Amino acid sequence: MSHLTRIPAPEGVAPAAQYAHVMTGAGRLVAVSGQLALDEDGRIVGAGDAGAQARQVFENLRLCLAAAGAAFDDVVKLTYFVTDMAHMPAVRAARAAHIPDDRVPAASAVQVSALVRPEFLLEVEALAVVPA
């Protein structure tokens, strides 16, 4: 993460829990579209199970980042879309398997009424910055 700077709590802003308020970086931007709990054949993984879906989503994010020459260490922003905020502990657990708590990026979590198909419980997109 040497090309990235994490600013967890700017002066005058309440401390962040589970995310950084600000991330900066120098290099090439990588944008990863929202990932769903689909395996490589397009089959849903973990129908009805937020933990299983979150693990698959983070695996898909890992693969997409790698295809662009990036890794989770390069992520500056994650956006979570969940159909129920009760799924966030499962999402955080899946994230923690890839990103240590002391390196969490900026993040937003949004509860939505539905995703592209009713069996999906969550979707996660990422922004990363890799060295130029």
pLDDT in tens, the chain (132 residues): 579 988 878 899 998 888 999 999 899 999 999 999 999 999 999 999 999 999 999 999 999 999 999 999 999 999 999 999 999 999 999 999 999 988 999 999 999 999 999 999 999 999 999 998
- Residue 88: the pLDDT is 98
pTM beyond 0.85, yes or no: yes
**Region of 46 on the Ramachandran plot (φ > 0 left; ψ -120 to 50 alpha; else beta):** left
- Residue 9: the pLDDT is 84
- Residue 1: the pLDDT is 53
Domains and CATH numbers, the chain: 30-130 (3.30.1330.40)
- Residue 6: the pLDDT is 86
108 burial type by CB count under 10 A (0-12 exposed, 13-18 middle, 19+ buried): exposed
